């Protein structure tokens, strides 16, 4: 079962996703997609790791900035059914940033192909898969072409992942709201 947790920056979405995993399983794999390019990011990563260590929950951490679809597929194939490990991916929009910057000079279809591979991996994962993503469409229109391209691709990715997840939570000011159960259908 896949669960999407979205919200703005510093909304509490990662903390909620961690608590959700702790409530639903005895241990989980924490897949970090961030890359530490500067001291500030290294400090953020260190603080996140320390916070996870302090709660006494068994987290297995793996860093995967690019090959996320392949990692999810491998982890799903290693076990089947209810014995598949719980995975928390934090976060899809950082993964998309990594993919977009790696393929910035290539046609947009290359990035879309990576997104398609991720959606396929999510759909086929046999265990609990909790995915964190940023809601980037509520802000101003980015001034630069790459920023607009990123915002548009993030919107496409978030919509596609939300469509295949059983539960979708929007976290605002630390308060999670489950959206799928309240979805208005035409």
CA distances from 79 to 73, 83, 126, 165 (A): 10, 6, 8, 20
CB hemisphere CA count around 80 (13 angstroms): 0
How distant is the alpha carbon of residue 21 from its chain centre? 13
Residues 176 and 6 sit within 8 Å (Cβ to Cβ): no
Catalytic residue among 48, 60, 103, 114: 48
- Residue 48 bears catalytic tag: yes
- Closest by CA to 183, choosing from 169, 97, 133, is 169
Q: What are phi and psi of 70, to 5 degrees?
A: -65, -40
Cβ-contact 1, 131 below 8 angstroms:
no
DSSP states along 20-41: HHHHH-SEEEEEE-----SHHH
Active site positions, annotated: 48
């Amino acid at each position: 079962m896949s669960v999407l947790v979205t919200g703005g920056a510093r909304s509490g979405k990662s903390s909620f996703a961690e608590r959700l995993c702790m409530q639903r399983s005895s241990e989980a794999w924490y897949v970090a997609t961030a890359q530490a390019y500067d001291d500030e990011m290294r400090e953020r990563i260190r603080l996140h790791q320390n916070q996870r260590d302090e709660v006494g929950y068994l987290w297995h951490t793996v860093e995967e900035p690019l090959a996320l679809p392949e990692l999810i597929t491998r982890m799903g194939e290693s076990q089947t059914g209810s014995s598949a490990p719980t995975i928390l991916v934090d976060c899809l929009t950082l993964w998309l940033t990594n993919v977009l910057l790696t393929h910035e000079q290539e046609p947009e279809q290359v990035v879309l192909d990576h997104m398609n591979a991720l959606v396929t991996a999510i759909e086929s994962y046999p265990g609990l898969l909790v995915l964190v993503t940023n809601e980037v469409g509520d802000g101003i229109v980015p001034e630069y072409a790459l920023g607009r391209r990123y915002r548009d691709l993030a919107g496409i990715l978030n919509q596609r992942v939300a469509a295949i997840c059983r539960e979708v939570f929007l976290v605002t000011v630390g308060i999670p709201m489950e959206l799928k159960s309240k979805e208005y259908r035409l």
